[in-house]
Amino acid sequence: MAVSSVPFASPAPQLAARERRLALAGAAFAAPAALLLVAILLAPLIVLVLLSVTDYRLGAVAVRFVGLANYAEMFSDPVFRRAIRNTFLYVAFVLPAGVFGGLALAALVHARKRTRSLYEVIYFLPVTSTLVAMATVWQFLLHPSLGPVTPLLAALGFGRLDLLNDPDLALATLALIGLWQLLGFNMVLFLAGLSAVPRDLYEAAALDGAAGAVDRFLRVTWPMLGPTTMFVTITTTISAFKVFDTVVVLTRGGPLGATDTLLYVLYLEGFHYFRTGYAAAMTVVLLAFLCLLSLLQARLIERRVHYA
Amino acid sequence: MTDGESADGVRLTGIAKSFGGTRVLAGLDLAVRAGEFLTLLGPSGCGKSTLLRIIAGLERQDCGTVSIAGRPVDHLPPAERDVAMVFQSYALYPHMTVAGNLATPLEMRRLTLLERLPLIKHLSPRRARVMRGIMAEVRAVAEALRIEALLDRKPAQLSGGQRQRVALGRAMVRHPAVFLMDEPLSNLDAALRVEVRHELADLHARLGTTFIYVTHDQVEAMTMSSRIALMDQGRILQLGTPDDLYDRPASLAVARFIGSPSLTVLETVADGVGGIRLGAVRLPFGHRFAAGTRLSLGIRPEAFALPLGPEADGPALAARLVRAENLGAEWHLHVRLDLPGEPPAIVRLTAAEHEAARASGLLEDPLTLVLRARGVHLFGPDGARVEPDPAHTAVVE
């Protein structure tokens, strides 16, 4: 063959050129996705951070750099501090109730054979409905004189409660509505996770003596649901942090600021008072919280999660 | 076999099972002797796995009784039947280490529910002591299977063969009365399968426990079993030693299933005086079928010989060579016999026979094939094997 006459050194530059071409082609293929990522995620984020250190108001002609003044104002503002407190309280209830409630529902529905799809539809309906529209239904249900809930609770001995207008109860009521809305979604995710657990494992557990419900759950179900649980926890955290529509429609932050939440206060500052720079600073804080919590959960759970 | 022998093993009586409208097991009886290696062999869908799962208690039979070590276990859950199972997929707990997997059956038996709960378990003063005992036994089993170095690994970090051993260990650790194995070698590559086959046979010899082994692979069945139950369509076609199944197949179906390459089947008719005719050749069997009865003649590939020296006398058939396959130690000749319809046949020769035959020009067409007495079986119209009358076994032309 002719190859034998070719000096050994000569293929190298050819190879380098080939590799360069390959790298170029790779970059070209990645470019559209990278550009989109920059255009719709990174660029707005940078603009947001830049805005948060200015006093920009929507429509203003002059913009002034104010450094961290917006952040300083935020953390000394009792309204914002209350909003943070309320949001964390809301998350503290909705997150565990949403995750474990979803898991419990999934476990119950999974055990059904014929009625399974019926229950799936029932629990999933709230997810498909528009929360703003459903909120008006809730408003009627919870109305102290028109709705059925107040007399029902009274009959049970709770007294005549005005669930949405009592400062002590309003946030809890919103949290329950929020839970109602996302439970079905979490249930469907857990159902998918449960269906993916190999039947063999349950059978092996049965032979090993782990046949009781508790042992089956602890030895097989719960560990095998690790990846699902992690996903559900993070999505539930994010949606709980972003509680907004029920606040706007049902309480507008009231009574007495008892349901002021982070996103609602942010919305007021940004779109009612047009303090864009200040709202941007709040958004950065909200984002920081979400990133931090997601990272923390990922770290904590990842250590115990097994990906099959 | 007497009842006394089988009382300690596993006894199945009238086991039937249907899924929906499909009958999977049709009233099946089987007595497994204590300490034997019994293989349930059969094509996929023959009900062998279902039968194993019924013994394990993972599936409930529609009717019939399962007895283990002399006592009926139909009402008992799997864990209380004193059986252990090795699954085809191994079914190891993926989130636990090898040690955790091996310890699970013992933990379930020796710890109370409270002592198994997360966090709360540490409150029990007894638990640490029990766990030390369990870990000592786990270590002993791991050493017996040579996996003690893997105890801290998780199943995902193990090779197929190692996982298989862990699954075996999890079954061994509680010293069950019966081992149930559902195609445990099917996920291993060919070389490993041969190795694990030896280890399983060795393990059976060492433990002396009853093994019930399900496979569709006749080589696994033939090489490891004390006895084989060949199944098809929810019934046992024949129960016997590997020799029984190969040399004395109860029916044409058994003869066809066992042996590779499979035996040649020729359609013939009875001649009315205890023999059959193949073309010009008459084979005497001493059977009692009336003249004209349709019979099947099964000929194992090694029952054909080329007329070399002592093999030369015996009933001979002419044939045309279609293809010759070299397997190294032996040759398979695919031929067409010089009979009406030119039926195909397979001839197995050792490498030495092939060499000698080629040297003496015996592989030139037309071939002359001599029938040996051993490996030639006659089957009646119902498919049952006709036991040759010893007075007539000498084959004469």
Helix-helix angle A116-128:A78-111, to 10 degrees:
160
* B376 exposure class (CB count in 10 Å sphere: 0-12, 13-18, 19+): buried
Q: At what angle do helices A199-208 and B98-110 cross, to 10 degrees?
A: 50
Q: Burial code of B120-146, b = ≥16 C-beta within 10 A, e = fewer? A: ebeebeebeebbeebeebbeebbebbe
The residue type at B285: F
Question: Quick check: A203 and B93 CB within 8 A?
Answer: no
By percentage, how much of chain A surpasses pLDDT 90? 21
Which chain B residues are Cβ-neighbours of A226 within 8 angstroms?
A: 95
The predicted structure's pLDDT at residue A76 = 87
3-state secondary structure B251-315: EHHHHHHCCCCCCEEEEEEECCCCEEEECCEEEECCCCCCCCCEEEEEECHHHEECCCHHHHCCC
User: Which DSSP category does B81 fall into?
Assistant: G
pLDDT tens figures, B296-354: 999 999 999 888 876 667 788 899 999 999 999 999 999 999 988 889 999 999 999 99
Average pLDDT of the segment spanning A225-243? 88
Answer yes or no: is pLDDT of A8 > 60: no
Confidence at residue B213, expressed as pLDDT on a 0 to 100 scale? 94
Tell whether A274 and A246 lie within a shared domain.
Answer: yes
Nearest CA in chain A to B113: A215
Single pTM value for the model: 0.79
Residue of A nearest to B78 (CA): A207
- What confidence score (pLDDT) does residue A293 get? 84
Which residue type, as a one-letter code, is found at position A134? M
- Residue A57 lies inside a defined structural domain of this protein: no
Closest Cβ–Cβ partner in B91, B109, B113 for A203: B91
pLDDT given at position B127: 85
In this structure, are A22 and A112 located in the same domain? no
Residue at A154 is within a domain: yes
Chain B interface mutation, best of A113, A199, A200, A208, highest count of B Cβ atoms under 10 Å: A208
**Chain-centre distance of CA A223, in angstroms?**
22
Chain B CB contacts of A210 under 8 Å are 79, 104, 108
Are B154 and A218 in contact (CB < 8 Å)?
Answer: no
| Res A10: pLDDT | 54
- For residue B5, what pLDDT band results from cuts at 50, 70 and 90? very low
Contact B93 A226 (CB under 8 A): no
Q: How far is A159 from chain B (nearest CA, A)?
A: 39
Confidence class for position A59, pLDDT limits 50, 70, 90:
confident
Residue range A15-41, pLDDT digits in tens: 788 899 999 999 999 999 999 999 999
- B116 neighbourhood in chain A, CB within 8 Å: 215, 218
Q: What are the two backbone dihedrals, phi and then psi, of residue B199, each rounded to the nearest 5 degrees?
A: -65, -40
Contact B105, B174 (CB under 8 A): yes
Comparing CB atoms, the residue among A206, A218, A226 nearest residue B118 is A218
Asked if A215 reaches chain B (Cβ–Cβ under 8 Å), the answer is yes
Name the maximum alpha-carbon separation found in chain A.
Answer: 101
The segment with the largest mean pLDDT, out of A158-172, A216-230, A247-261, is A216-230
Query: Is A223 part of the contact surface with chain B (CB cutoff 8 Å)?
Result: yes
Domains of chain B: residue spans and CATH:
3-247 (3.40.50.300), 262-392 (no CATH)
Min Cα distance B273 → chain A (Å) is 58
Q: pLDDT at position B2, please?
A: 43
Taking an 8 Å cut-off on Cβ atoms, the answer to whether B109 and A218 are in contact is no
Interface contact flag, A201 B91, Cβ < 8 Å: yes
Query: Among B42, B72, B77, which Cα is nearest to B213's?
Result: B42
* Lookup: tokens for B360: 């003496």
Residue B132's φ and ψ, nearest 5 degrees, are -60, -45
Q: Using CA atoms, how far apart are residues B247 and B254, in angstroms rounded to an integer?
A: 11
Q: What angle in degrees, to the nearest 10, is found between the helix axes of A78-111 and A226-241?
A: 140
Same structural domain for residues A73 and A195?
A: yes
Separation CA A250–CA A162 (nearest Å): 13
**ipTM > 0.85, yes or no:** no
The model's pLDDT over B56-80, given as tens digits with 9 standing for 90+, comes to 999 999 999 999 988 899 999 998 8
Q: How far is A136 from chain B (nearest CA, A)?
A: 44
Q: Does A196 touch chain B (CB under 8 A)?
A: no
- Residue A80 makes CB contacts below 8 A (sequence gap 6+) with A74, A265, A282
- Residue A56 counted as domain residue: no
Q: Which residue from B92, B108, B117 is facing A210, i.e. has the nearest CB?
A: B108
pLDDT band at residue B7 using 50, 70 and 90 as cut-offs:
low
Domain enclosing residue A178, as ranges: 69-302
Same domain (yes/no): A99, A150: yes
Claim to verify: residue A185 and residue A295 sit in the same structural domain: yes
Domain match, A113 and A38 both = no
- CB contact under 8 Å between A215 and B108, yes or no, is yes
- What tokens were used for B118? 């997360």
Query: Do B84 and A207 count as a contact with CB atoms less than 8 A apart?
Result: yes
Q: Is residue A287 part of a domain?
A: yes
Query: How many beta-carbon pairs below 8 A join chains A and B?
Result: 74
pLDDT: which is higher, B394 or B193: B193
CB-nearest to A200 from B91, B96, B116 is B91
Q: Of A153, A137, A111, A149, whose CA–CA distance to A250 is shortest?
A: A137
A198 touches chain B (CB under 8 A): yes
CB within 8 Å: B78 and A203: yes
Question: Does residue B133 register a pLDDT over 80?
Answer: yes
Report the share of chain B in percent with pLDDT over 70: 95
Burial of B37 (0-12, 13-18, 19+ CB in 10 A): buried
| Tokens encoding A195 | 């269906």
Residue B290: pLDDT band (50, 70, 90) is confident
Nearest residue in chain B measured CA to CA from A219: B93
Using alpha carbons, list the distances in angstroms from residue A42 to A35, A39, A65, B73, B377: 10, 6, 21, 66, 81
Q: pLDDT by residue (tens digit) across B166-188?
A: 999 999 888 899 999 999 888 88
Distance in Å, alpha carbon of A122 to nearest chain B alpha carbon: 30
Give Cα B27 distance to the centre of its chain: 21
Q: How confident is the model at residue B210 (pLDDT cuts 50, 70, 90)?
A: very high
Asked whether the beta carbons of B214 and B49 are under 8 A apart, the reply is: yes
Task: Decide if A209 and B109 are in contact by the 8 Å CB cutoff.
Answer: yes
Residue A253: give its domain's CATH number.
1.10.3720.10
Q: How distant is the Cα of B82 from the closest Cα of chain A, in angstroms?
A: 9
> Tokens representing A283?
């958004």
Of all residues in chain B, the one with the smallest CA distance to A202 is B91
Q: Are A284 and A48 in contact, with CB atoms under 8 Å apart?
A: yes
Residues A27 and A115 in one domain: no
pLDDT > 70 in chain A, percent: 94
Q: With a cut of 60, say whether residue A9 has pLDDT above it.
A: no
A47 and A87 part of one domain: no
Q: Which amino acid is at B103?
A: A
Closest CA to B308 of B345, B361, B346: B361
For the CA atoms of B149, B155, B159, B165, what is the dihedral angle to 10 degrees?
A: 70
A36 and A183 within one domain: no
* Residue B389 near residue B395, CB atoms below 8 Å: no
Q: Which residue of B has its CA nearest to A217?
A: B117
B13 three-class SS = strand
**Residue matched to tokens 């995902």:** B156
CA separation for the pair A225, A107 (Å, rounded):
11
Quote the pLDDT of residue A63.
Answer: 80
Number of structural domains in chain A: 2
CB A266 within 8 A of CB A112: no
Residue B6: pLDDT over 50:
no
Q: Does A217 touch chain B (CB under 8 A)?
A: no
Q: Is residue A58 part of a domain?
A: no
Residues of B in contact with A209 (CB under 8 A): 79, 105, 108-109
Let me know if residue A308 belongs to a domain.
no
Chain A residue with the nearest C-alpha to that of B110? A209
Residue A139 is assigned to a structural domain of this protein: yes
- Look up residue B148 and give its DSSP letter: G
| Chain B residues close to A308, C-beta within 8 Å | 94, 156
**In percent, how much of chain B has pLDDT > 90?**
42
Do A35 and A141 lie in one domain? The reply is no
Contact B113 A209 (CB under 8 A): no
The confidence band for A114, taking pLDDT boundaries of 50, 70 and 90, is confident
* Residues A84 and A12 both lie in one domain: no
The whole-angstrom separation of Cα B25 and Cα B14 is 9
Comparing alpha-carbon positions, the chain B residue that sits nearest to A207 is B79
User: Domain check: are A86 and A29 in the same one?
Assistant: no
> Higher confidence at residue B200 or residue A211?
B200
The angle at the Cα of B288, spanning B287 to B293, to the nearest 5 degrees, equals 95
Q: Does A203 touch chain B (CB under 8 A)?
A: yes
Asked whether the beta carbons of B201 and B194 are under 8 A apart, the reply is no
Question: Which residues of B make CB contacts under 8 Å with A?
Answer: 56-58, 77-79, 83-85, 87, 89, 91-96, 104-105, 108-109, 113, 116-118, 154, 156, 170
Suggest the residue from B55, B68, B104 to mutate for an interface test with chain A (most A CBs closer than 10 A): B104
The answer to whether the CB of A171 falls within 8 A of the CB of A258 is yes
Q: Report the pLDDT value the prediction gives residue A276, as an integer from 0 to 100.
A: 86
In this complex, the residue of B58, B108, B156 whose CB is nearest that of residue A203 is: B58
- For A198, the closest of B79, B91, B116 (CB atoms) is B91
Please report which confidence band the pLDDT of residue A214 belongs to, taking 50, 70 and 90 as the band edges.
confident
Residue A237 within any structural domain of the chain: yes
Q: How far apart are CA B256 and CA B59, in angstroms?
A: 31
How many Å separate Cα A108 from the centre of its chain?
A: 24
- Residues of chain A with Cβ-Cβ distance to B108 below 8 Å are 208-210, 215
Asked if pLDDT for residue B222 goes beyond 90, the answer is yes
Q: How many CB atoms lie within 10 A of CB B181?
A: 24
